[in-house]
Structures are given as C-alpha cells and as structure tokens.
A and B are shown apart, each in its own frame.
Chain A
C-alpha cells in the first residue's frame, strides 16, 4: 500500500490534558481509512491534527510528525492555510454559510483562491455538486439559500464545497451523525465513489458504517491507537481483546 499520509509519534493536548498519545499510522492513498472508538477516545482530535485544525482552538498543542507525500505539515516553513487548502474537511454538523446561496457556498473556496471567472466558477460548481450527488436536486435552485436544504442535502452541499477547491485528502468528522439513514447511505455511496480521486479519512462511532465503507480501520481508545489494519481483519479477527470487546459491543 502506498501511503498518502504518514503519522509519526503524534501527541496532542488541550492545555494540561493530553488527548493523543504517540499515534503512528499510515493512511493509504485513494483508500478510505476509518477511525473508530468510543466518545472521548481522541478520534476527532486525531483527524483535526491532519489538516492543522486542532491548533485553531486556544491552548491546543501538537507534537510529532504528520507527513503528507513525505513532507511534514508541522514544519516551521509550512503555512497552515495551504495545508487546509490541500486537505479538506467535512464536519459533524452540516455548516453551510447561511447568508450565501447554494452556488456561492460551493464557489466560496474558489473565490478565496482568487478565481472569479464566471465560466470556471459555473463549471466547477456544477462538477462539484455532481460529484456530491446533489446536482439533480438543486440545479434549478442554485440561488436559494444553502440552509433551505434538508440536513442530508446540506451535508452533501458541504462535501461539494470541500470538493470544489480540489483537495487531495478529505477528512470526514462523523459526517452522518446528524443524518437520517437514507441521507447516511447516500453519503456512504458518495464516499466510495470519491476514493478513486481522493484519499479519505472518516471518523465515526457507527461501527457498521466503518465496516461498510472503509478499507482500513484504526481503533482508538483513551487517546491511544489500539489496533490498525484492514477493515475485514479488524472486524472479523481483531488481534486485541479491547478491539473485540468494542466491536461486539461489550462497551462503548
């Protein structure tokens, strides 16, 4: 397997509280890697370290290395803004910009990059919405507010918004936890389609979801990575006792 991201000895903390201890993991290129574990195990913090979003919160600290294509994103000469352009993120709660239309939401990232050519914008907005499987539902309402959509549509709008800036990696932080099963399955199908072009990392505490969509799974507990391997192996033949206990539902 070819790694897009290699994490070495990653530690993260909020103030005095350390939330991640010595994480080492490789994220496969053009694959879906799922991070599972009970609430508070540090899985959200972990993926927020992958695009330098962790440090946005005050008193948050990170040490260790996160190599993307071999280059450490925590090097002092790296601008976090560039990293976030290359590594997009979709959040737990759909968060479209409420004052912007559907079109402007998708175009927001491009405009930040100084692209104002109407033709390019039109084309990218359409393509991104198609990739996010939302185009058919909204093509006649592009000027409507982004928050007029249903929760599932809003989340796909956020995915389209992230796709529009052509990231290399997309991080999903429990993207379906606020959605109904139909919307959830749409987003899962979407992710499977996206891995051809992108590298995906998904945090979820829905184990079945991890089993359904991911190629690799990492199990986190109390800020430590307990086990990492192919999804099949993790769910069928876990090596660690606690992984098995979690997967069969003895705790969590």
Chain B
C-alpha cells in the first residue's frame, strides 16, 4: 500500500522560502546518517586490513583464538553469536506472538494499556542489570532445575549432553530471548492491531470462533509484519553484548551441547579490546566487528527480500 508522496518541490514557491530552508535542514540530517554509516564501514575495513592480510579466509574458518602466539580465528565467535541468537528466537517468537495476540485480541480493554506498558518497560531495563540477574538467578535456576530434566529426557540428543555449570550457551540464549521479547511482541501487537476490522468480521460471519478468526483472518494478514518484528528481534540478539557476555561463559569453542559455555562476537570485542596490545590482536578484533556488522546487514537485506517476495499481502501490514 503506497501512500501518495507529497513533494515540497511540487508546490510553487520562491527560492529561500521557509519550505526550502526546512527541506534543506532535514535533508542534511538524513544525509548525515548515511554518511555516518559509510564512514563506520570504511573505518572498520581499513583497521581490519592487517588481520585480513595475515589470515585471509582462514580468519573465518579458523577456530583457534590464541592471543599469546597471535593466531586468530573467528569461527567460534561467529558460531556462538548465530547459535545463541537463533536459540533466543526459538524461545522468544512463540512467546512474543502469544503476547501480541493476547494484548490485541483477548485482553480486557482495561488491561491492554498497562500490560503493554509493562512489557515495553522490560526493554528499558539496562542490559547490565539483566546480566546481573542472569548470573545470580537465571544461571543457577537453569543449572538446577532446567538442565537436569532436559538431560534426563532429551539427553539422547547431543544438544543436551555434558556437564552444566550454569554459564552456558543455553543461559545466553534464554537471556537474549528475554531481552528481545519486548520489541518483538510490541511490534507484532501493533501489526496485528492494524488488521482491518472487516477481515475479522469476514471470518466471524462465516461462523469462526475467536481463535479461528485469529488463525484464518488476523495472523495471515499480519504475517509480513510479524516476520519483520522477528527479524528486528534477531538483529537485537546478534548485537546484544553486555548481558550475554555475563552469562554465556566466554569460552571460544564450538560444542554441539547447549550446556557448554560459548562466546559471541560482541562479547569478545567487549572483553578483550582493552587488553589487546599488539596491532594484529586489535586488528583481528576489529575484523570481528566488521563481520558482525556484515552479518546484521545481510540478515536485514535478506529479510527485506523475503518479505517482498514471499509474504507480500495486498493491502496487508508492512514490515
């Protein structure tokens, strides 16, 4: 649904009118963002040159991270970031869509605003606080109450094997899930609320129950927007640093088990940048930063394309 674009230039006016100045000023602001993004990219590229020249593609495939002998491979961090974010999505998406449906379709009118407010407030909790809570409450809880049944009943899967000390990929994934639920659920809720009443009535008039109306009329109509909300959450999870650093265990290894500690790209930069002494060490960390940016960009572009190609709903919600 394209809304007609109103161009300031289509309005007749003398040069240097208020409109012209206004347009120039806001245009400059908009341009500033683009320039900033470009400079950021350029800086990361230049600063990571040394690491790139030394390791080449081996940086992406190497799994040794040894600052003493200056051998750097980023694979464990890429693995840690992708797996923890994916795990977070797996947990967060059902919760978020459930919350969104409840708040937009089912909750009593009086509860909707306060509940949405509280959920959005969760997004305002500083991530270091969530991290502290993760260390003291969540990690022991997962270790004592979640991991034992998982390894008892699902222990035949490599995912749930091995010892569990609390700080682990699983804990990181759960923390990330908690952190992305507010954004994913509130964007989904807004998307669901834009589904026209006529669509709901079409289903109701066929004799659909409340749940059936949601299933056949509301969710399909809102699917592209909900997908957008999920990707937004994924982007958050990939870039999240503080809380996940505090609970994931910070050990650069690739393990099949979610019980073993891991390390993410953002975490290694945060942890090691200050103590990185050699040029190659710094350059390698910057290359990780560059890769992190690249992954976010690629995921966002891929999501856009997917929304355009697959989920397009005529007259439907937009991502």
Which A residues have a C-beta under 8 Å from some C-beta of B? 51, 53, 56, 58, 81-82, 84-85, 88-89, 91, 93, 95-100, 108-109, 112-113, 145, 147-148, 158, 161-162, 165
CB distance from B204 to the nearest CB of A (A): 6
Residue B313 interfacial (CB < 8 Å):
yes
**B206 lies within 8 A of A165 (CB):** yes
Task: Please give the distance in Å from A59's CB to the nearest CB on chain B.
Answer: 9
In the complex, how many angstroms separate the beta carbon of A14 from the nearest chain B beta carbon?
14
In the complex, are the beta carbons of A97 and B220 less than 8 A apart?
yes
Complex interface: stretch among B7-15, B129-137, B159-167, B194-202 = B194-202
* Interface of chain B residues 184 through 225 with chain A (CB within 8 A): 196, 198-209, 212, 216-217, 220-221, 223
Please tell me if the beta carbons of A113 and B207 are within 8 angstroms of each other in the complex: yes
Contacts of B217 in A (CB 8 A): 97
Residues on the B chain within 8 Å of A93, using CB: 198
Contacts of A113 in B (CB 8 A): 207
B275 sits at the interface (CB 8 A)? no
In the bound complex, CA of A202 to CA of B204 (Å): 19
B315 at the interface (CB under 8 A from A): yes
Does B2 sit at the interface, judged by CB under 8 A? no
With A93-B198, A145-B314, A147-B315 as contacts: A99 and B220 at CB distance below 8 Å: yes
Main secondary structure of the interface of B (DSSP, over half): helix
Q: Given A98-B315, A147-B315, check contact A112 B204 (CB 8 Å).
A: no
* Bound-state Cα–Cα, A55 to B199, Å: 16
Residue in A closest to B215 when the chains form the complex, CB atoms: A112
CB distance from B75 to the nearest CB of A (A): 40
Cβ-defined contact, A112 with B208, below 8 A: yes
Known contacts being A97-B217, A112-B216, A145-B314, is A85 close to B204, with CB within 8 Å?
no
Question: Contacts A58-B109, A147-B314, A165-B206 given: A98-B212 contact, CB under 8 Å?
Answer: no
Task: Choose among B199, B207, B212 the residue that contacts A97 (Cβ–Cβ < 8 A).
Answer: B199
A163 vs chain B, min Cβ distance (A): 11
B235 at the interface (CB under 8 A from A): no
A154 to chain B minimum Cβ distance, whole angstroms, is: 11
Within the complex, which residue of A91, A96, A108, A109 is in contact with B201, where a contact is CB–CB below 8 Å? A91
Do B315 and A95 touch (CB < 8 A)? no
* Residues of B close to A81: CB separation below 8 A: 207-209
What is the interface of chain B, defined by CB distance below 8 A to chain A? 109, 196, 198-209, 212, 216-217, 220-221, 223, 313-316
Query: Given the complex of chains A and B, what is the CA–CA distance between A128 and B203 in angstroms?
Result: 17
Shortest CB-to-CB span from B40 to chain A, Å, is: 39
Known: A84-B206, A97-B221, A98-B220. 8 other contacts (CB 8 A): A53-B205, A91-B202, A95-B199, A97-B220, A98-B313, A98-B314, A108-B206, A165-B206
Distance between Cα atoms of A99 and B219 in the complex (Å): 10
Q: Which 10 A-B pairs have the closest CB atoms?
A: A85-B207, A109-B206, A89-B205, A99-B220, A95-B198, A95-B202, A147-B314, A84-B207, A98-B313, A98-B314
Distance, CA A162 to CA B212, complexed state (A): 16
Query: Of A82, A98, A161, which contacts B206 at CB under 8 A?
Result: A161
The 8 Å CB contact of A100, one of B198, B212, B220, is B220
Q: Report the minimal beta-carbon distance from A175 to chain B, rounded to whole angstroms.
A: 13
Q: Which residue of B lies closest to A82 (CB)?
A: B207
Interchain CB contact under 8 A, A88 and B199: no
- Name the residue in B109, B206, B208 with the highest tally of chain A Cβ atoms < 10 Å from its Cβ: B206
Chain B residues closer than 8 Å to A96, beta-carbon distance: 202
**CB-CB < 8 A to B198: which residues of A?**
91, 93, 95
Tell me which residues across on chain A come within 8 A of B201, comparing CB atoms.
Answer: 53, 56, 89, 91, 95
> Cβ of B206: which chain A residues have Cβ within 8 Å of it?
84-85, 88, 108-109, 112, 161-162, 165
Which A-chain residue is minimally distant from B205 (CB atoms)?
A89
**The residue from A58, A88, A100, A147 contacting B205, defined by CB atoms under 8 A apart:** A88
